[in-house]
Amino acid sequence: MEIQTSSMGLVARVAHLSKYYGSGAQRVTALDDVSIGIRRGEFTAIMGPSGSGKSTLMHVMAGLDSASEGSAWLGDDEITHLRDRELTRLRRRRIGFVFQAFNLVPTLDVRGNLRLPFELGGRGPNREERDRIDALVAGLGLTDRVGHRPHELSGGQQQRVAIARALATQPDIIFADEPTGALDSRTGREVLRLLRSAVIGSGQSIAMVTHDPVAASHADRILFLADGRIVADHRAMSAERISEMMLSLEAVSA
């Protein structure tokens, strides 16, 4: 597989990335010499059997976890050797996150949750950013919910708020970890369409970890991991073909 040594057109990349947990006989190799780039303006799905290293790859790319060997870049910036404080700043300014469990702040209403990334950066949103938040709220059908707190919203509405929060700061990349995992299939499809429209409408780059072939079928590109290695890199595929691929990978790693 070609190793991409330049950041051209790549919003994030890793080179010769390995990640081990534990040591000696207990050592687990979660990632084994992975070199891959995430293209700017694309919706990339990361798939693979349970334990294949999907979350670990996402966490290292997003600066949430360290590499044992190799390097990770966000655009032109190597993040592998940054200190915690620098990583926190970088994540806040340049990365958006969407998690399975929504991760909204329960004591804040929708507006408060959407303003949070700006407040954490030490200032509230400026005029332009407030207008952007309002447009996102309207676009996601949440206008009559801005004063509601997360427990007053359905799962699908909470995930829409989480997506709006991730989009509001116009991050270089959004990492989504099983964003439809807690939703029924119809609501899940709506959430996937929202992610897709952010890619088409504003060129947002998104990398999504998922087990779900239907979710991955919304992506432009699908990376398959098995036993800590990238074993396939495909353009958009149907859910049926993705399922077949997953079944064959699960059979090999069983």
Ligand X SMILES: Nc1ncnc2c1ncn2[C@@H]1O[C@H](COP(=O)(O)OP(=O)(O)OP(=O)(O)O)[C@@H](O)[C@H]1O
Positions touching ligand X (CB under 6 A) are 21-22, 28, 30, 48, 50-56, 211
Min separation Cβ 211 and ligand X, Å: 6
- Residue among 99 and 190 whose Cβ is closer to ligand X: 99
- Residue among 129 and 177 whose Cβ is closer to ligand X: 177
- Residue among 4 and 29 whose Cβ is closer to ligand X: 29
- Residue among 46 and 168 whose Cβ is closer to ligand X: 46
**240's tokens:** 């049926």
Min separation Cβ 53 and ligand X, Å: 4
Alpha carbon distance 48, 224 (integer Å): 5
State whether residue 156 is helix, strand or coil: helix
Min separation Cβ 21 and ligand X, Å: 3
Strands 69-74 and 95-99: unpaired
Min separation Cβ 56 and ligand X, Å: 3
If we measure between CA atoms, which residue out of 12, 57, 36, 10 comes closest to residue 209? 57
Min separation Cβ 16 and ligand X, Å: 18
Cβ pair 190, 139 in contact under 8 A = no
Min separation Cβ 59 and ligand X, Å: 8
State whether residue 45 is helix, strand or coil: strand
Residue the block writes with tokens 């798939």: 47
If we measure between CA atoms, which residue out of 48, 56, 96 comes closest to residue 72? 56
- Residue 210, Ramachandran bin (φ over 0: left; ψ between -120 and 50: alpha; else beta): beta
- Residue among 56 and 205 whose Cβ is closer to ligand X: 56
Q: Is 232 exposed, middle or buried (0-12, 13-18, 19+ CB in 10 A)?
A: middle
How many residues can be counted in the chain? 254
Residues 6+ apart with CB under 8 A from 238: 217
Cβ pair 53, 30 in contact under 8 A = yes
